[in-house]
């Protein structure tokens, strides 16, 4: 299908700044369900929402209908009143038949066991903001049997341009644990290795019975002296903190992850924890404003920690069909760096790189339900960026003497070569592998300049990312991570930049001739996308790197730089300088800029902004053509249709069903 000339007009439209005006026949206004500004996490009190998640409501309803109302379920409760003592809190819970299980020091949530028949009355308590189940979380390693031949190696991202290796930077790995007996992992001269281990699953703290966490850690901090430097980690002199939140089958609970994040906040200074890697997640149900994992991740971000999360492996159905809207929690959270996966096909050049079929695509599909029963979907642009994640080789953890982990036991073809137990290597694919690539680069950036805020790290990574040709924004975000450019700019930022006023020059160096819009490496030119994604659109301009932007400040989000007012997405002039534009917005790039290219890859975007019913699905079973907000660069609300960049109608999206599972 080719584009008629009138479709090409859409390319020049400015979705992010499009004026939403009445366009319906007879002068009737089109009323938009526009997204709210997202500057505050704790605004649920102002939104008149139901205080219990939909899946927990269904659990309670089904149990009561089957006469099992007295059965007990583990829930996560978000508190409005955080000054209650433990005794007062237990008394309050006891009045609802509940028992306190755990309360966290730096995150205003608790876990409790509650009879399902009492959940509704508990949700009416004024001191309780929201109740959700203690949802299971799983790793995002993907056992892929149809990958292209060859070995993708993330280490080509950093070789040959810098001596930075993460020295002194603490990276917390929330996973299935790390087996520090493997020769690629264990500490050596000049390499601290795993400096602290803690478990939340009952597995010994320095072991990994599943095998996922050890593989992830080796991508971060593998010893360069192991097997002639072929498997060196990206930040091999960083300090790794192992927090085991997944068990021997790669499964755990949200409460484990929250406890580990709470520990990271409390112990940030002791271990200089500046980066958290979470190659795990759970299907998104709640809006990020209510999701307890998102709340916990935001608290870590506000504490000054870069939080990197795998997007998930829900990019295709069991039949191989492309699926949108499969971003998992906590990857739906705006403050985190959400990472999708690319396949480099075993080459060092980037011209052949593509998004893997399994990598989760946006938009985010968490929602809240208002008092009238209307669902309000987040519909944020995610992932934020992508990184190599297909067939990466890392350490195989021995679960006990003479034995290997359960992943290799179940899938012996993952093993690479024949080695001793403590030298055995394995392939893994997935966004789980992409996340530590970005985490390692973030650690190198922080080593280059320890004054960087989490927002600056994220902005630099997105600005310098390379857009992949003919891949849409909901698949790649700002593009594929560009380590050399990101680390260079990190080193140019003044160490006192965080104290500057809005618009102050913040770099020690900048090449005004080329403005460093690209780098030349591995025999090819890598163009920077030069854009920063902000929830529904993106900002664009060299001022994003040369001058201090208020959105980089501690406790600020990049997304705070844009907001919705009277159905128009506008820049916050107090957080962004006037030379930064939000008027460039298309869905697909040609591989040069985030802001260039044509609309969608298959040519099915009509001028009214509706995708044809060509079998493209959201992960909750809704066809994109049924009212997902697609403009010429992002998403603008909850089911509204866009015509030439103008909102013209509204449709109700279907009920979310079971989330798509990754192909086996």
Three-state DSSP state, 25: helix
DSSP code at position 514? T
Q: In the structure, what pLDDT confidence band is assigned to residue 647 with cuts at 50, 70 and 90?
A: very low
User: Between 430 and 153, whose confidence is greater?
Assistant: 430
Nearest Cα to Cα of residue 493 among 536, 532, 450, 557: 450
User: Between 346 and 325, whose confidence is greater?
Assistant: 325
CA distance 625 to 368: 22
Compute and round to an integer the Cα radius of gyration of the chain.
24
What is the full DSSP assignment across 74-134? EEEEEES-----HHHHHHHHHTTT-EEEEE-SSSSEEEEEEEGGGHHHHHT-TTEEEEEE-
Domains recognised in the chain with CATH numbers: 44-133 (3.30.70.80), 138-448 (3.40.50.200)
pLDDT of residue 583: 55
What is the full DSSP assignment across 601-630? SSS-B-TTS-B--SS-EETTS-BGGGT---
Confidence check: pLDDT of 551 > 70: yes
pLDDT of residue 402: 54
pLDDT of residue 596: 77
CA distance 331 to 309: 6
CA distance 288 to 415: 38
CA angle 313, 316, 320 (to 5 degrees): 135
What mean pLDDT do residues 451-457 have?
98
CA distance 352 to 348: 9
pLDDT of residue 657: 25
- What size, in residues, is the chain? 664
CB under 8 Å to 571, separation ≥6 — which residues? 539, 561, 562, 580, 582
Q: In the structure, what pLDDT confidence band is assigned to residue 651 with cuts at 50, 70 and 90?
A: very low
Q: In the structure, what pLDDT confidence band is assigned to residue 535 with cuts at 50, 70 and 90?
A: confident
CA distance 461 to 467: 12
CB under 8 Å to 522, separation ≥6 — which residues? 156, 348, 349, 350
3-state secondary structure 529-564: CCEEEECCEEEECCHHHHECCHHHCCCCCHHHHEEE
CB under 8 Å to 578, separation ≥6 — which residues? none
Mean pLDDT, the chain, rounded, equals 78
pLDDT of residue 313: 93
CA angle 20, 384, 387 (to 5 degrees): 150
Least confident of 22-26, 203-207, 335-339: 22-26
pLDDT of residue 514: 52
What mean pLDDT do residues 644-664 have?
27
pLDDT of residue 228: 78
> What's the pTM?
0.85
Q: In the structure, what pLDDT confidence band is assigned to residue 35 with cuts at 50, 70 and 90?
A: very low
What mean pLDDT do residues 553-559 have?
95
pLDDT of residue 592: 82
Confidence check: pLDDT of 434 > 90: yes
- 215-224, 397-406, 464-473 — most confident range: 215-224
Confidence check: pLDDT of 135 > 80: yes
580 DSSP β-pair partners: none
pLDDT of residue 401: 52
Confidence check: pLDDT of 138 > 80: yes
Confidence check: pLDDT of 36 > 50: no
pLDDT of residue 636: 39
Q: In the structure, what pLDDT confidence band is assigned to residue 520 with cuts at 50, 70 and 90?
A: low
pLDDT of residue 279: 97
Confidence check: pLDDT of 420 > 60: yes
CA distance 572 to 144: 44
Confidence check: pLDDT of 262 > 70: yes
Q: In the structure, what pLDDT confidence band is assigned to residue 607 with cuts at 50, 70 and 90?
A: very low
Q: What are phi and psi of 61, to 5 degrees?
A: -60, -45
pLDDT of residue 522: 56
Confidence check: pLDDT of 321 > 60: yes
2: Cα separation from own chain's centroid: 34
DSSP code at position 497? G
CA distance 553 to 346: 39
Confidence check: pLDDT of 39 > 70: no
Q: In the structure, what pLDDT confidence band is assigned to residue 518 with cuts at 50, 70 and 90?
A: low
pLDDT tens for 567-594 read 677 889 999 999 998 754 556 777 888 8
Confidence check: pLDDT of 410 > 90: no
Q: Are 479 and 466 in contact (CB under 8 A)?
A: yes
Least confident of 43-47, 207-211, 303-307, 594-598: 43-47
- 70-74, 601-605, 651-655 — most confident range: 70-74
Least confident of 5-9, 67-71, 109-113: 5-9
CA distance 425 to 418: 9
User: Between 370 and 352, whose confidence is greater?
Assistant: 370
Percent of the chain surpassing pLDDT 70: 74
pLDDT of residue 162: 61
pLDDT of residue 118: 93
pLDDT of residue 214: 95
pLDDT of residue 369: 86
pLDDT tens for 66-99 read 888 789 999 999 998 777 888 889 998 999 999 9
Least confident of 246-250, 365-369, 483-487, 614-618: 614-618
User: Between 273 and 485, whose confidence is greater?
Assistant: 273
CA distance 173 to 432: 11
Three-state DSSP state, 273: strand
Least confident of 85-94, 136-145, 167-176, 442-451: 136-145
Confidence check: pLDDT of 24 > 60: no
CA distance 556 to 559: 8
pLDDT tens for 188-223 read 988 999 999 999 999 999 999 999 999 999 999 999
Confidence check: pLDDT of 272 > 80: yes
């Amino acid at each position: 299908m080719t584009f008629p000339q009138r479709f090409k007009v859409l390319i020049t439209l400015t979705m992010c700044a499009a004026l939403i005006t009445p366009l319906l026949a007879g002068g009737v206004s089109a009323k938009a369900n526009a997204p709210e500004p997202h500057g505050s996490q704790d605004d649920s009190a102002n939104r008149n929402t139901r205080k219990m998640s939909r899946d927990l409501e269904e659990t309670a309803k089904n149990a009561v209908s089957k006469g099992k109302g007295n059965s007990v379920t583990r829930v996560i409760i978000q508190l409005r009143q955080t000054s209650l003592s433990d005794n007062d809190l237990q008394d309050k819970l006891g009045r609802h038949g509940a028992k306190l299980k755990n309360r966290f020091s730096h995150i205003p949530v608790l876990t409790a066991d509650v009879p399902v028949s009492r959940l509704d009355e508990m949700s009416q308590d004024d001191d309780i903001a929201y109740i959700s189940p203690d949802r299971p979380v799983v790793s995002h390693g993907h056992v892929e049997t149809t990958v292209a031949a060859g070995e993708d190696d993330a280490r080509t991202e950093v070789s040959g341009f810098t001596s930075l290796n993460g020295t002194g930077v603490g990276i917390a790995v929330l996973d299935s644990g790390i087996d520090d007996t493997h020769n690629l992992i264990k500490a050596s001269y000049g390499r601290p290795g795993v400096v602290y281990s803690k478990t939340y699953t009952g597995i010994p703290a320095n072991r990994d019975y599943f095998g996922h966490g050890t593989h992830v850690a080796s991508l971060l901090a593998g010893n360069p002296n192991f097997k002639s430097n072929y498997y060196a980690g990206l930040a091999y002199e960083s300090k790794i903190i192992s927090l085991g939140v997944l068990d021997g089958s790669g499964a755990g609970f949200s409460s484990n992850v929250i406890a580990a994040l709470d520990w990271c906040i409390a112990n940030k200074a002791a271990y200089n924890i500046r980066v958290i890697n979470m190659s795990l997640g759970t299907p998104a149900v709640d809006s990020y404003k209510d999701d307890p994992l998102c709340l916990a991740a935001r608290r870590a971000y506000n504490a000054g920690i870069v939080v990197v999360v795998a997007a998930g492996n829900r990019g295709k159905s069991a039949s191989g069909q492309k699926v949108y809207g499969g971003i998992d929690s906590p990857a739906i959270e705006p403050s985190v760096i959400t990472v999708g996966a690319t396949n480099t096909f075993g080459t060092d050049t980037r011209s052949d790189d593509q998004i893997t079929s399994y990598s989760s695509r946006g938009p985010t599909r968490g929602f809240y339900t208002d008092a009238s029963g209307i669902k309000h979907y987040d519909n944020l642009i995610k992932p934020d960026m992508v990184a190599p994640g297909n067939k990466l080789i890392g350490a195989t953890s021995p679960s006990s003497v003479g034995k290997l982990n359960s992943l290799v036991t179940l899938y012996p073809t993952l093993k690479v070569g024949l080695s001793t137990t403590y030298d055995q290597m394995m392939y893994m694919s997935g966004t789980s592998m992409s996340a530590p690539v970005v985490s390692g680069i973030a650690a190198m950036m922080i080593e280059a300049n320890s004054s960087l805020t989490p927002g600056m790290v994220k902005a630099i990574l997105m600005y310098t990312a390379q857009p992949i040709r003919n891949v849409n924004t909901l698949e790649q975000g700002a593009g594929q991570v560009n380590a050399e450019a990101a680390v260079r700019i990190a080193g140019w930022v003044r160490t006192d930049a965080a104290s500057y006023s809005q618009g102050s020059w913040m770099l020690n160096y900048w090449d005004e001739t080329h403005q460093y819009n690209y780098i030349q490496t591995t025999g090819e030119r890598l163009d920077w996308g030069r854009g920063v994604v902000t929830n529904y659109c993106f900002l664009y301009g060299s001022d994003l790197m040369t001058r201090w932007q208020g959105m980089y400040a501690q406790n600020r989000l990049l997304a705070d730089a844009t907001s919705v007012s009277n159905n128009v997405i506008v820049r916050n002039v107090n957080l962004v300088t006037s030379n930064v534009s939000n008027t460039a917005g298309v869905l697909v790039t040609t591989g040069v800029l985030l802001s260039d290219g044509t609309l969608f890859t298959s040519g099915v975007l009509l001028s009214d902004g509706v995708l044809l019913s060509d079998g493209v699905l959201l992960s909750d079973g809704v066809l994109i053509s049924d009212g997902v907000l697609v403009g010429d660069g992002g998403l603008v609300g909850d089911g509204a249709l866009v015509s030439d960049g103008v909102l013209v109608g509204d449709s109700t999206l279907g009920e979310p069903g079971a989330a798509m599972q990754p192909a086996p």
